[in-house]
Structures are given as structure tokens and as C-alpha cells.
């Protein structure tokens, strides 16, 4: 007979990185974890929680730039957040930010084909920004649990 939730010893255990599938690159994130000196993971937690603040601030700036139709600023913000998320191995966030970078530069999502229609670029950014925020929310929730937050 399978244990009930109340009896399940893994219920309160932190989730495993492999639970995030393609959202987090396990080997990249493990390199961050290797810098921790202790079991509390204070160093890596500081980096990750700093990223949370940075991402939320950048998403706010992106929303404002989108409302003001500032494509070059959106490209720059996308590039900035792409780098930060890549450092932590947050693949889906990185990929969405890279698309925003390309769209803001007047290109297609791959950055190889020119997109001369600014309204098309803005619409693409709007859709991709929504996806990026959803992907970010998913990894943020996961990582907060990973670091032991209960709510």
C-alpha cells in the first residue's frame, strides 16, 4: 500500500533540479551550487534571489518600454536578462529574452531575418514577454521551494 501524503517522508523534501526538465539546465545550475561553502547554500541562494529582484525589475522596465514602443530599449533589456538567466541555466527565460532582444532589434525571433514592421515586432514582444514572465514564475516558484521557502 502506498503511503498517504501525511506519511510520505519526501513531502517536505526540497524538489530536485531534474524536476524542472528543460526549464533549468541542471549542469549549469549545479556549477552555481558548487560555489556554496555550506549546507545552507547561502552563496547560491544570494545569487538566485538577487536574480529574482533583477528579473522583476527588468520585466517592469520591459512593460514600460513596450507601452512606450521603445524597441531599442526592449532589445537592450532582453539582452541583459538573457545573460543573467543564462548564467543560472534558466533556459526558457533565456530563450524568451533572446527573442525579445531580436524583436527589439527589428529582426525575427532567430535574429537572422529583418522585420521592418515595428508593429509586428511590438506584437511579437508582447506575446513573448508574457511567455517569459510565465516561464520565470515557474522557475521562481520551483527555486524558492528548492531553497526551503514554504509559502
pLDDT in tens, 87-139: 999 999 999 999 999 999 999 999 999 999 999 999 999 999 999 999 999 99
* Separation CA 26–CA 18 (nearest Å): 7
Range 134-148 average pLDDT: 95
* Separation CA 94–CA 77 (nearest Å): 12
Q: Write the DSSP symbol of residue 12.
A: T
The pLDDT value given to residue 44 = 96
41-146 CATH pick, 1.20.120.160, 1.20.120.330, 3.30.470.20, 1.10.10.10: 1.20.120.160
What's the pTM value of the predicted model, to 2 decimals?
0.88
The pLDDT value given to residue 2 = 47
Which grid coordinates are listed for 65?
518600454
Amino acid at each position: 500500500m502506498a503511503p498517504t501524503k501525511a506519511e510520505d517522508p519526501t513531502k517536505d523534501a526540497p524538489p530536485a533540479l531534474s524536476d524542472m526538465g528543460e526549464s533549468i539546465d541542471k549542469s549549469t545550475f549545479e556549477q552555481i551550487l558548487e560555489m556554496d561553502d555550506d549546507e545552507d547554500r547561502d552563496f547560491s541562494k544570494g545569487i538566485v534571489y538577487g536574480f529574482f529582484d533583477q528579473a522583476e525589475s527588468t520585466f517592469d522596465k520591459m512593460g514600460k518600454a513596450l507601452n512606450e514602443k521603445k524597441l531599442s530599449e526592449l532589445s537592450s533589456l532582453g539582452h541583459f536578462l538573457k545573460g543573467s538567466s543564462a548564467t543560472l541555466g534558466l533556459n526558457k527565460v533565456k530563450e524568451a529574452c533572446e527573442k525579445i532582444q531580436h524583436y527589439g532589434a527589428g529582426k525575427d525571433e532567430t535574429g537572422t531575418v529583418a522585420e521592418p514592421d515595428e508593429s509586428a515586432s511590438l506584437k511579437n514582444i508582447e506575446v513573448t514577454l508574457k511567455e517569459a514572465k510565465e516561464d520565470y514564475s515557474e522557475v521562481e516558484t520551483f527555486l524558492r521551494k528548492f531553497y526551503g521557502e514554504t509559502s
